[in-house]
Amino acid sequence: MTRSTIGNSLIKIRGRTLFLPALMLVAIWMNAPSASAQELVYTPVNPSFGGNPFNSAHLLGVANAQDDTEPPQSASSSDPQADLFIRQLQSRLLSGLASEVANAIFGDNPQDYGRVVFGDQTVEFQRGLDSITLTIFDATTGTTTEIVVPIFTTGG
């Protein structure tokens, strides 16, 4: 015979009296899933360090948003076409100067010593036994650059 009394939290089953909260704990414990654990694995966010490559655009956008430095202002004119023309003209003139020096050193009538003046720059060369020494002097800044070029000689 089973008798149950809910009012005083006692349940009597087959002659045994059980306390209701204890019975509820046993029921919860039996229905609870088992706990499991796994190893923690670190995954970097930055794709440069092995993270997801799809994060790169987001990280670049965040970095650019935080960048408060200003780009350097050029001292040249505001016309990019004029700047390009000036750079190309300087390049052509310096190329002509380099050709003149190379022809004086290695041309049909090679010289042992020579000097080429181009505006504020002076290029001097001197041929030694095993090398050619080029000295470039810039009069505007007062700097001197020396370049030593070894002479390649064949055995015959």
Measured distance CA(84)–CA(88) in Å, rounded: 6
Does the pTM exceed 0.75?
no
pLDDT at 69: 87
Measured distance CA(129)–CA(114) in Å, rounded: 16
| The dihedral formed by the CA atoms of 40, 46, 52 and 55, expressed in degrees to the nearest 10 | 130
Residues 17-62: tens digit of each pLDDT? 666 667 677 777 777 777 778 888 888 888 888 888 888 888 888 8
pLDDT at 77 > cutoff 80: no
Residue 133 binned pLDDT confidence (cut-offs 50, 70, 90): very high
pLDDT at 75: 62
In what helix (H) or strand (E) does residue 88 lie, and over which residues does it extend? helix 80-106
Is residue 126 helix, strand or coil?
A: strand
pLDDT at 55: 85
In whole angstroms, how far apart are CA 50 and each of 41, 56, 64? 13, 11, 21
Measured distance CA(11)–CA(20) in Å, rounded: 7
Longest distance between any two alpha carbons in the chain, whole Å: 131
pLDDT at 146 > cutoff 90: yes
Residue 10 binned pLDDT confidence (cut-offs 50, 70, 90): low
Residues 84-107: tens digit of each pLDDT? 999 999 899 889 888 888 888 888
